[in-house]
Structure formats: C-alpha cells, structure tokens
Chains A and B, each alone.
Chain A
C-alpha cells in the first residue's frame, strides 16, 4: 500500500485532466508506488493566495483520522467523512463543480486515502488488486472525494448533516441516486433518506427500482407543485463560507453544523414519503417475489 507523497502541497489547487494523466501510472493504480509530488506541483493552476479555505492541513488530518478510525471497515468511513469534509472544505456549488479541484485533492494531497478506500479486493475473476482511475479523476458521483462532498451537499437538511450519515451509510443509495436528476429536488432527497432510515428500502435493487419509478412518475407529476421547496437564500451559505477563515477544526465525535439554511418544508417531505411508499409497493423490483 502506498503512503502520502514525499511532497504534499500546502494549498489546494486546480489540476486539469490533461496534466493529471501522466501521474495516473500503473504503479499508482495498483497502489504500489506514488509520485514524489514535486513534478506534480509544477503543473497545477493555483487558487487565490488570500483564501484560507484552500489550506490542505485540515483535510489531510481528517483523512488520516478516517484511515485510523475505520481501519477494520473502510466502507463505513464514507458516512463519517462526508459531512466533515463538507464542513471543512466550504464551497459554492459552482466551485465544487470544477473537477480539477477534486483531481488535485485525490492525486496531490491524499492519494493514500484513495488507495486505502478504493483498492479492489481480489476476486476469482480479478485477482489483481486495483484502484479504478475514476476514483482519482472522474465523474462527480464516482471520484473519491467529490462523491462524498456532493452526497453531503444534496442530502443535508439545511444545517443538519444527520440525513447525510444515513445516506452515506447505504452504498447503494449514494451510488444509484447521486447521478440522477431527481435528487436535485430537496424534498425528494429527504424523503428517500427517510425511507432508507425506516428500513422500507434497503437493497440496491429496491433503491434502483424506486428511483426508476420516481423518474417515470415525474413525467406526469410536477414534484415542485406537489411538494414545494423554499426558494434558496444565498446569504447563509455566503456567511458560512466567509466563516471558514476562523472556523475551528470539525469535531471528530459529534456532527458539525452546515450552513444555516432553512430546512426542507416538513409537509413536503411527509407527503413524498407517503407517495414514494405507494410507488414502491407497486413498482416492479427485480428479484422481489410478487405477492399473489
């Protein structure tokens, strides 16, 4: 297993895919050897000097704690790290949509975490252990860190990260749902989490079947009318980002607070929970025995 590079940068930067490519070596993807860091530092595009948010140290220390804490069950690290990464690296969605930031974080700052979390277990069909390249540089819902950040952003209920813990505790949920548009509607995201939390849906097939049914029903139902959300107020997020300058490290033991935005209207969530329950009971789910 690899360790961190000899040279870890002090500040986050942007690493374009074209520049990142030559560092994604076979040895790295097999977790045998990592680059030294010096050459990589030469090809990044820097972020503004005067912004405290780009300091690497708080993130580095978070991932090291995650590796230690979850050494026996690395999958569980997602639910712990997602809210804490989100509260540490305070971004607008515009900033978070820039894949170059995540590529830099994975490749320059914490390749050892990517390897620890995503190196495949040997199987009969694929005996060679390997890290999928998309965990370093890839779609937002697959890349090692951006998937956690986006899961936290899309599943948090205003400042409350508790739904994020639930969502990230179910690999199938974040794997299946993150890439679908339906989750852009906050009440839908909260209703899905409630169904997972109550145990109504659990397996990948159930979650996938339900999300297909929600999308299909969405062609005839306008969820924004059925279950309205509050308009976004940009103020609380801006303040929260500005406070990054003085914010202490996030607690390792209790959940941090997110931006002080309004929670999702409870009526809308409750209505969708009922609606989805009904959809789920009639949806065709692969592998589910039909009740006759």
Chain B
C-alpha cells in the first residue's frame, strides 16, 4: 500500500466506455456497435468494423467517483476528473477533461479523441481525479485501479494479449526467412508487433485441421495442437521479454511498457510466486545474468507457459474424446 502525505479517497474510481465512433478518411463518422467494447474485459477494439482508413476515434466515457468525493467537509477543492490515454510504444499521452453530469453528482462523463497516426497497437486508459489539497494544486485524490485497454487494431475487445496466427507456405512465402524453417509445422516470431505464430501450410492437412469446427475428435486434436503452439509462444515471448530488459543505473530492471510488459505481468506470478511482480522481475533478471539459478528457473517458466496456454484443459478433453471414440468402436 502506498502512503500519501495528504488526504485522499481510499476507494478507486470506476468507469466504463459508453460509445465508440470512428472518423473515416472521407470525413464521415461510423458509430461502432457495442461489440467494439467490453466492460467485463475492460477493453476497446477499434478494428471491429474492419475500417483501415480511419483517422481518429472518439471514445465516450462515464466515470463514478467513490463515496466521499463530494463530502462538504472534504479536504480538497477544485476537483477535476481527467481521462488519460498512454501508449508505451509511441510515447503518446492524450488527456481530456470530463464534466460533471449534475450539480451534486459523483458521475462525470466526456469524450476522449485519439488519432490513428499516434498508435501502433495497444494503449491504456486511466481516469484520475485531482484537486487542490492543503494549498497544493493538482494533487491526485483518486484513480482507477485497473486500466482499460484500447487496441487500435484488434477486432475483439479482450484485455489479455492476443496472439496472431498467420498461415504461409514456408517454401513459397514472400517472407524468405521462413524457408529456413520449411521442415517444421509452425514457427514463433516474437519480434513482430504482437507475437505471431506462422503455420506452415506445406504440412498437408494442417490448415484443414486448424480450421475444423465440429465437436468430434478432430476438434479436440485441434485444440490440443493450438495449446501446444500457445505453450511455445508463451515460452518464447517470456524469454524474449527477459532478454530485452532495460536496466537502470542501479542495476534494477525496468518493466517494459509494451506488450512484453503485459506478458511479464501475466507470467511472473507463476514463475516466482508469492512476491510482487517488480520483485519477481528483479529475481528473474538476477538469475539470468548471475552465476546460477537460470537453469532451475526453466521449469517454472515452462509451467507458467503451459498454464497460460490452458494445455491441461485441452489435453483433458482430447483424452476423454479418444476414450469415447474407443468405447464406441468396441460396441
């Protein structure tokens, strides 16, 4: 818990997205339907309508300050509520003031506009309430405890990191570097905007298997295959993220601000359980760069990757499905 040298609200601000619209290159506006955002996932996906020529997006927001914000004896005055969008990849910070819905309301709302040219992938959205406390202006008196994710590319509003799956013939692809890997069914590329799995369409039947939908054994095998790929991806991105860490002059690693940071925050609790993620990152970094402990950590990293990939569930269903098939063939 943080200690503040002045009075604050001790509960977080809650907020939700109420509308999303895109301004297109021809000057028209497309109001996206509710599938563009999810309150449960706390995510906005600007790619849902399939436009790739939009110029800016306007996100409607509604925030509720915690009880006590408007108390007559509050320690603050001149309260302002701000929506702040930050993007670690492009260093863009966009802020907008929200306005109070009614005289004695704790609800504030407004619109945040973001430019497509300013973002490559994902940005996060936070709400701050600030006021003048003890004569100091701009004191933060409350904020949201969890940010929303605004994904400028994705067509599905999910807060977790999405993997991209691309199909390509490794021997014929225009991506020549894939040719070196022509004898394997898939390869993971963690250097792209989001981690990407390239599936080798030269492997006969693999596309049919991956695209199968039904409920039979085939789909269970597909899920197992996907879980296996996902395990590979998570392992690779974890190593990639750890290998790229920035180190402060004091020797402490800095949390990356892009998707690598997201990956680390998700996996570290399983890799080094029971400590804060910042401490976990320090420990992992020490083990990788120090004299010992890196080899021992591999099991934990693998464990974290298998859990992320939900491999146990996929395997469980696949086994049950096989058992059923066997039973039926014995009849």
Beyond A222-B128, A222-B140, A237-B117, is A93–B191 a contact (Cβ under 8 Å)?
Answer: no
Chain A neighbourhood of B84, CB < 8 A: 224
* Interface contact B120-A97, CB-CB below 8 Å: yes
Closest to B260 in A: A139
Say yes or no for B56: interface residue by CB 8 A criterion.
Answer: yes
* Interface contact A223-B92, CB-CB below 8 Å: no
Interface residues of A in 191-232 (CB under 8 A from B): 204-205, 208, 219-226, 229, 231-232
* Interface contact B138-A232, CB-CB below 8 Å: no
* Interface contact B175-A221, CB-CB below 8 Å: no
Number of A-B contacts (CB under 8 A): 112
Chain B neighbourhood of A176, CB < 8 A: 249
Say yes or no for B93: interface residue by CB 8 A criterion.
Answer: yes
Q: How many angstroms from the CA of A223 to the CA of B93 in the assembled complex?
A: 12
* Interface contact A222-B130, CB-CB below 8 Å: yes
Q: A19's contact among B128, B136, B137, B177, by CB below 8 Å, is which?
A: B177
Q: How many angstroms from the CA of A221 to the CA of B191 in the assembled complex?
A: 36
CB distance from B17 to the nearest CB of A (A): 20
Say yes or no for B5: interface residue by CB 8 A criterion.
Answer: yes
* Interface contact A224-B191, CB-CB below 8 Å: no
Say yes or no for A66: interface residue by CB 8 A criterion.
Answer: no
A: interface residue count bin: 35 or more
Q: A220's contact among B4, B82, B115, B246, by CB below 8 Å, is which?
A: B4
CB distance from B214 to the nearest CB of A (A): 34
Q: How many angstroms from the CA of A154 to the CA of B93 in the assembled complex?
A: 11
* Interface contact A184-B93, CB-CB below 8 Å: yes
Say yes or no for B310: interface residue by CB 8 A criterion.
Answer: no
* Interface contact A208-B91, CB-CB below 8 Å: no
* Interface contact A225-B82, CB-CB below 8 Å: yes
Interface residues of A in 172-193 (CB under 8 A from B): 176, 179, 181, 183-185
* Interface contact B189-A18, CB-CB below 8 Å: yes
* Interface contact A94-B116, CB-CB below 8 Å: yes
Closest to A204 in B: B249
CB distance from B171 to the nearest CB of A (A): 15
Q: How many angstroms from the CA of A140 to the CA of B95 in the assembled complex?
A: 24
Say yes or no for A150: interface residue by CB 8 A criterion.
Answer: yes
Q: How many angstroms from the CA of A139 to the CA of B91 in the assembled complex?
A: 13
B125-153 vs A: 1/0 string, CB under 8 Å?
00010100000111110000000000000
CB distance from B24 to the nearest CB of A (A): 14
* Interface contact A94-B128, CB-CB below 8 Å: no
A221-254 vs B: 1/0 string, CB under 8 Å?
1111110010110100110000000000000000
Say yes or no for B213: interface residue by CB 8 A criterion.
Answer: no
Say yes or no for B254: interface residue by CB 8 A criterion.
Answer: yes
* Interface contact A94-B90, CB-CB below 8 Å: yes
Q: How many angstroms from the CA of A171 to the CA of B119 in the assembled complex?
A: 27
Beyond A99-B191, A184-B91, is A225–B130 a contact (Cβ under 8 Å)?
Answer: yes
* Interface contact A150-B120, CB-CB below 8 Å: no
Q: How many angstroms from the CA of A26 to the CA of B134 in the assembled complex?
A: 60
Say yes or no for B204: interface residue by CB 8 A criterion.
Answer: no
Q: How many angstroms from the CA of A19 to the CA of B86 in the assembled complex?
A: 31
Say yes or no for A17: interface residue by CB 8 A criterion.
Answer: yes
* Interface contact B115-A232, CB-CB below 8 Å: yes
Q: B191's contact among A17, A142, A234, by CB below 8 Å, is which?
A: A17
Q: A98's contact among B96, B120, B140, B244, by CB below 8 Å, is which?
A: B120
Chain B neighbourhood of A22, CB < 8 A: 177
Q: A16's contact among B55, B82, B117, B191, by CB below 8 Å, is which?
A: B191
Q: How many angstroms from the CA of A18 to the CA of B195 in the assembled complex?
A: 12
Interface residues of A in 135-180 (CB under 8 A from B): 138-142, 150, 153-154, 176, 179
Chain A neighbourhood of B80, CB < 8 A: 225
Say yes or no for B266: interface residue by CB 8 A criterion.
Answer: no
Q: How many angstroms from the CA of A160 to the CA of B283 in the assembled complex?
A: 44
Query: Which residues of B pack against A, CB within 8 Å?
Result: 2, 4-6, 55-56, 80, 82, 84, 86, 88-96, 115-120, 128, 130, 136-140, 174-177, 189, 191-193, 244, 246, 248-249, 254, 257
Query: Which residues of A pack against B, CB within 8 Å?
Result: 16-19, 22, 42-43, 45, 92-94, 96-99, 138-142, 150, 153-154, 176, 179, 181, 183-185, 204-205, 208, 219-226, 229, 231-232, 234, 237-238
- List 19 extra interface pairs beyond A43-B175, A179-B246, A179-B254, CB under 8 A: A92-B118, A93-B91, A93-B117, A93-B118, A94-B116, A94-B117, A96-B90, A97-B90, A98-B120, A139-B246, A140-B89, A220-B5, A221-B136, A221-B138, A222-B138, A222-B140, A224-B93, A225-B82, A234-B115
**What would 12 A/B residue contacts be, using CB atoms closer than 8 Å?**
A16-B192, A43-B177, A93-B118, A93-B119, A185-B93, A220-B4, A220-B140, A222-B139, A222-B140, A224-B95, A229-B95, A232-B115
